[in-house]
Amino acid sequence: MRVLLIIMLAGLIGTCSSPPPILEQVLETGQLRVVTRDSPTSYTVSPNGPSGPEYDLVQAFADELGVALVIESVTSVSEIMPKLISGDAHMAAAGLSITANRREFLNFGHPYKSVNVHLIYKLGTGKPRSVEDILDRSIEVVAGSSHVDLLASLQSAYPELSWTENADVEFADLLTKVAMDEVDLTVADSPDFNIQRHFYPELRIAMDLEIGDPIAWAFPKRAADSLLARADQFLISAERSGMLARVQDRYYGHTRKFDYVGTRSFIRHYESRLPRYRQMFEQAGRESRVDWRLLAAIGYQESHWRSHAVSPTGVRGIMMLTQDTADYLRIDDRLDPKSSIFGGARYFVRQTERVADTVDEPDRTWMALAAYNVGFNHVKDARMIVEWEGGDPDSWIDLRKALPLLAQRKWYSRVPYGYARGWEPVLYVSNIRRYYNILKWLTANEEPPEVEGPVDEDEPLILTESDRPEETA
């Protein structure tokens, strides 16, 4: 493949005159052509449109240039370099790490994040503790990825090291294969692993093969670096303004906290408890225009999908409504699952409507969830603190730093609504984001499961503070 790329590059250089700088081409045509990967860590398309960390950044860059963004999505890392060398794309925004082999053909811009590179195994199969421990185990990696180069560098010291390269899979597919015992080991960057471990909680890190591997946008070497220079200016500015941090939080914030036991319990309850209430969540979602899986995630955080759950402070039902909230929603029986689910959906919509119009999604949803938990007035107080501290009150990443301050006299004595256990809505939102992400994955390619037998409500119906540390509406 390296020989083919060299021939392609030589042909392009030898058969045409020097093209104008890429930035000039972009501005003249009014289009920025970008190649990226079809991956949750780069770019995906849903019924709500395109999204992904790379998409958000490159769309903002195109907006700054005043041009239209044209995305070409590929499924394999090995397809990216030919797209750049042939001129089909002006740049690549695909979570590419900077390697010596890639530098031969591409220029890389300012690294805008770094990842750790993990060797992944499945719990119960024996944890490898050194390279010597993996010499007799099957290893599969994505063809054309930086992981191939990393293993090749190890092979110089361990000639017996061998692996299989697969061009027809993505990183998530290989993590699935390890979880399904189809291969012993794989190599994964930390963002991919942090997402997939919530789906397959048996996956574990055996060792770190590299720490702080830089990730950057890539550009062809065949023309001047004017576009690269503008991209660097944009990314440095985005880092200083906090935009990079907000994008990372939007897609990875929910992956930071991982609870092996909790994740296993959630998946078990998805199979044993949710079928009884799934149609109610779906109908409530349709009527409220809220993704039913988000409503279900709220219900799980509140009660673990137990319709007769009661907290020590008197909130009760699947959606854990207070008596005041039930009265406001005109709900007679909080323990009736349908009333609770539909009431909780209406109450969540109400909190969303109260969030300032200047707040964009998904921050709007996270703030509404925080208000569902701690009360909207305390969220308003936290927004005041953010403003006092010079932050952005429309940013969830800034708000979640301010909410815990509501438990400190220095701050709660200065705001209208006083003391609140402000750390609880931060944990609350984080948990719901994680449950929501797992539900989206579990339901992506399946029909609603049939209800077989009684719903599993064998755990105590009285929730302790350790069961449910948050208070609700």
300 pLDDT higher than 90? yes
**CA distances (Å), origin 295, targets 25, 179, 201, 318, 441:** 47, 29, 23, 11, 15
- 64 as an active site residue: the answer is no
Mean predicted confidence (pLDDT) in 135-160: 93
pLDDT, one tens digit per residue, over 177-208 is 998 999 999 999 998 888 778 778 889 999 99
3-class SS at 92? strand
Mean predicted confidence (pLDDT) in 75-88: 89
| Beta-sheet pairing, 139-142 with 68-74 | unpaired
Percent of residues, the chain, with pLDDT higher than 70: 86
3-class SS at 349? helix
Q: pLDDT value at position 470? A: 36
Q: pLDDT value at position 473? A: 46
Report pTM.
Answer: 0.64
Segment among 112-116, 315-319, 347-351, 462-466 with least mean pLDDT = 462-466
Q: pLDDT value at position 282? A: 96
Angle in degrees, 0-180, between the axes of helices 226-241 and 22-29, rounded to the nearest 10:
80
Contact 220, 84 (CB under 8 A): yes
3-class SS at 371? helix
With tokens 């991982």, the residue in question is 258
Domains and CATH numbers, the chain: 2-113+215-254 (3.40.190.10), 114-211 (3.40.190.10), 260-442 (1.10.530.10)
- Work out the mean pLDDT of the chain and round it to a whole number: 85
Burial code (b: 16+ CB inside 10 Å, e: under 16) for 268-303 equals ebbebbbbbbbebbbebbeebebbbbbbbbbbbbbb
Burial code (b: 16+ CB inside 10 Å, e: under 16) for 349-370 equals ebbbeebeeebeeebbbbbbbb
Q: How far apart are CA 286 and CA 280, in angstroms?
A: 10
Going by C-alpha positions, the residue among 101, 215, 105, 193 that lies closest to residue 153 is 101
- How big is the chain, counted in residues? 473
| Beta-sheet pairing, 68-74 with 31-37 | parallel
Question: Which of 54, 170, 302, 471 does the annotation list as catalytic?
Answer: 302
69 pLDDT higher than 90? yes
pLDDT, one tens digit per residue, over 30-47 is 999 999 998 878 888 765
pLDDT, one tens digit per residue, over 347-365 is 999 999 999 999 999 999 9
